[in-house]
């Protein structure tokens, strides 16, 4: 039982015995004491003042005396108005350190295999390479899955590849028209980049055709685009694909394979992975079956043109198209099929979709349509809606080819990390291979941390130059702190200090040591809270605070040159636990930490 749970239990007993008040533990506000006040945990007593019929100070005094008398761990208490601050004996904190160091992976909960969460992220289209927006999606999804797993849930990471639809046909039409049979091998380009170039080419030529129609027929933008010959050709190709036309399917398979190979290379470099990959070309047929079954059961309705719709007006929404008049499916159709397939595969208690906030309406509709179709698992769907990521020069546009390619961005991060690290002289004594690995670790760490430290719900501005800084709230600062601690521990091992134990009963803690211990103590709760709120930013900002606390402690107090051997041994263990928590926390963000810098 954690110490705050023991305190809460005693507070409950105090309220019952002193004031005949029954209080649920969840309604007791026990928080870590703020740094500017003396104490370790604080109880807000105002909710009990009326029931106690005493002043806030008197109510707090009586509770404080009761708890201190019944808990050996409490050294003292103090009262500031309606706030009761408890201070623990130092041996409680040093005992915690000994216990935490002995744990295999402190902070990580035992997994409950009956509580299954499926996290979908990435979800790329096979008509373009991954870009900066995909990077935020992938990093968020992977990190959330890691955090949920660490909180005790069995977590399945999945990807849904958008490998069919009109956007895919655009790239195919362009390659057939202007490709002259070129391949990734013949051009030396990654397959996803080659296909993306043809998507941009299609849009470029389409704009010309649409403009010509506007000039000659005075059409508005939408009508001109939809009636342009290229767009007509792309829609015809989509119909041919859904009918299984052999030539169309052959080109589709070939170009998709080019893209998959490119994606795999980017995923590997980015350090994200999946337990399973779904393909919309497999799930849309199941979606069509479910829609037709819903029509038969009267859950849905058919219009005169043969299209099938869901009426969500009673849900505060409008009518939603699920199958077009020509029988082709829409995104909603395939998402219905994917949800069913995923539930069948994993019997998940929660299905999480990591998708940008521009799709809020889509997922609201999906959940309501599934409920209308009688799917009990509809309530388990959760859309993790995140904000857009932009660059200093503004928004990116795939159609115009102005996106920031994920591979190019990682190259830039590597180059920036190399330049900054060499200028600071942090690679002396490294082999060339070790330098390469370090630059990659720092560059990716900077990128990931800069993106993940922002609340997922917020839009963000990514500035590569700001992300690589060995001072401030950055990945490299935390990585350097870890390397510094590992250096201390290597020297401690050389002195034979790692094998010796300290006497926890005779250590008197200074303020920096106690604050560092309190920060370390908060790690398991931080993981639980980050999992509950699905926010890697909580882990990112926690580990930054931890790194700051360690640096402040180390600036004022020596670990290895402390004359009192017992205190030195204690500080070695304190450093060891800090390094372990930094590594675990950064791992939850998908970030590696170097052993030396």
Report phi then psi at 510, rounded to 5: -90, 175
| Spatial CA neighbour of 36 closest among 93, 78, 6 | 78
Who wins on pLDDT, 27 or 74? 74
Q: What is the average pLDDT across 219-231?
A: 93
Q: What is the average pLDDT across 7-24?
A: 93
Q: What is the average pLDDT across 254-268?
A: 97
Locate 460 and state its tokens: 């963000």
| Spatial CA neighbour of 339 closest among 291, 386, 292 | 291
**How crowded is the C-beta side of 445, counted as CA atoms within 13 Å?**
28
pLDDT per position as a tens digit, 149-196 = 999 999 999 999 999 889 999 999 999 999 999 999 999 999 999 999
* Neighbouring residues of 580: CB distance < 8 A, sequence distance ≥ 6: 101, 105, 106
Q: What is the average pLDDT across 570-577?
A: 98
* Neighbouring residues of 272: CB distance < 8 A, sequence distance ≥ 6: 121, 122, 138, 139, 141, 142, 590
* H/E stretch holding 278: strand 276-279
Three-state DSSP class for 193?
helix
DSSP notation for 500-539:
PPP-TTSPPPPHHHHHHHHHHHTHHHHHHHHHHHT-HHHH
Report phi then psi at 37, rounded to 5: -115, 160
Give the per-residue pLDDT at 403.
67
Who wins on pLDDT, 300 or 424? 300
Q: What is the mean pLDDT of the chain?
A: 93
Percent of the chain with pLDDT over 70: 98
Q: What is the average pLDDT across 259-277?
A: 97
* Neighbouring residues of 35: CB distance < 8 A, sequence distance ≥ 6: 515
CA-based end-to-end distance of the chain: 39
Specify which residues 405 forms β-bridges with.
Answer: 131
Q: Is the pTM of this model over 0.85?
A: yes
Locate 80 and state its tokens: 């500031």
Domain boundaries, the chain: 3-88, 164-273, 275-404, 407-588
Query: Residue 428 to residues 422, 432, 492: CA-CA distances in angstroms?
Result: 9, 11, 22
DSSP notation for 329-393:
B-HHHHHHHHHHHHHHHH--SEEEEEEEGGGHHHHHHHHHHHHHTT-GGGGGEEEEEE--EEBTT
Strand order in the sheet with 83-88: 30-32, 41-44, 83-88, 74-80
| Spatial CA neighbour of 287 closest among 337, 232, 243, 240 | 337
pLDDT per position as a tens digit, 355-380 = 999 999 999 999 999 999 999 999 99
Say whether pLDDT at 401 is over 70. Answer: no
Q: The domain 275-404: what is its CATH number? A: 3.40.50.620
Q: The domain 407-588: what is its CATH number? A: 1.10.730.10
Q: The domain 3-88: what is its CATH number? A: 3.30.1360.70
| Residue 400 pLDDT level (bands cut at 50, 70, 90) | very low
């Amino acid at each position: 039982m954690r110490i705050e749970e023991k305190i809460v239990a005693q507070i409950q007993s105090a309220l019952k015995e002193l004031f005949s008040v029954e209080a649920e533990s969840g309604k007791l506000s026990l928080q870590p004491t703020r740094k500017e006040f003396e104490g370790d945990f604080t109880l807000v007593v105002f909710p009990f003042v009326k029931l106690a019929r005493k002043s806030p100070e008197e109510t707090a005094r009586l509770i404080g005396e009761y708890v201190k008398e019944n808990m050996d761990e409490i050294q003292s208490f103090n009262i500031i108005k309606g706030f009761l601050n408890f201070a623990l004996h130092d041996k409680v904190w040093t005992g915690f350190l000994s216990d935490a160091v002995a744990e295999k992976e402190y902070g990580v909960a035992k997994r409950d295999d009956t509580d299954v969460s499926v996290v979908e992220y990435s979800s790329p289209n096979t008509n373009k390479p991954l870009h900066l927006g995909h990077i935020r999606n992938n990093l968020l999804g992977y990190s959330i899955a890691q955090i949920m797993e660490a909180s005790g849930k069995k977590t399945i990471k999945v990807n849904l590849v958008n490998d069919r639809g009109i956007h895919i046909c655009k790239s195919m039409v362009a390659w057939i028209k202007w490709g002259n049979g070129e391949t990734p091998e013949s051009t030396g380009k990654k397959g996803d980049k080659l296909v993306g170039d043809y998507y941009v080419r299609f849009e470029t030529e389409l704009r010309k055709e649409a403009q010509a129609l506007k000039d000659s027929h005075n059409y508005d933008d939408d009508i001109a685009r939809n009636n342009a010959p290229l767009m007509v050709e792309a829609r015809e190709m989509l119909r041919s694909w859904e009918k299984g036309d052999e030539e169309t399917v052959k080109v589709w398979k070939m170009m998709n394979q080019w893209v998959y190979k490119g994606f795999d290379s980017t995923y590997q470099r980015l350090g994200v992975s999946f337990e399973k990959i779904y393909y919309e070309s497999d799930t849309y047929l199941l979606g069509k079956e479910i829609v037709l079954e819903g029509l038969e059961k009267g859950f849905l309705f058919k219009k005169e043109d043969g299209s099938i719709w869901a009426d969500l007006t009673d849900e505060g929404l409008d009518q939603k198209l699920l199958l077009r008049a020509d029988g082709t499916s829409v995104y909603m159709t395939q998402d219905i099929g994917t949800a069913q397939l995923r539930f069948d595969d994993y019997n998940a208690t929660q299905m999480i979709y990591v998708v940008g906030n521009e799709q809020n309406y889509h997922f609201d509709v999906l959940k309501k349509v599934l409920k209308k179709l009688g799917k009990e698992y509809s309530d388990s769907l959760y859309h993790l809606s995140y904000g857009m990521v932009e660059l200093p020069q503004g928004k990116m546009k795939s159609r115009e080819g102005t996106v920031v390619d994920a591979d190019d961005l990682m190259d830039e991060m590597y180059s920036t990390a190399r330049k900054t690290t060499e200028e600071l002289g942090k690679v002396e004594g490294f082999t060339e291979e070790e330098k390469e690995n370090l630059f990659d670790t720092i560059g990716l760490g900077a990128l990931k941390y800069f993106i993940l430290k922002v609340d997922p719900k917020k839009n963000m501005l990514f500035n590569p130059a700001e992300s690589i800084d060995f001072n401030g709230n950055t990945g490299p600062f935390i990585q350097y702190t870890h390397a510094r601690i590992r250096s201390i521990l290597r020297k401690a091992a050389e002195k034979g200090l790692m094998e010796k134990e300290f006497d926890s009963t005779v250590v008197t803690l200074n303020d920096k040591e106690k604050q560092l211990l309190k920060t370390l103590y908060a790690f398991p709760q931080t993981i639980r809270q980050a999992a509950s709120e699905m926010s890697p930013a909580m882990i990112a900002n926690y580990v930054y605070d931890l790194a700051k606390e360690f640096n402040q402690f180390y600036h004022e107090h020596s670990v290895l040159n402390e004359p009192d051997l017992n205190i030195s041994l204690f500080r070695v263990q304190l450093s060891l636990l800090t390094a372990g928590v930094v590594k675990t926390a950064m791992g939850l963000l998908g970030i590696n930490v170097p052993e030396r810098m």
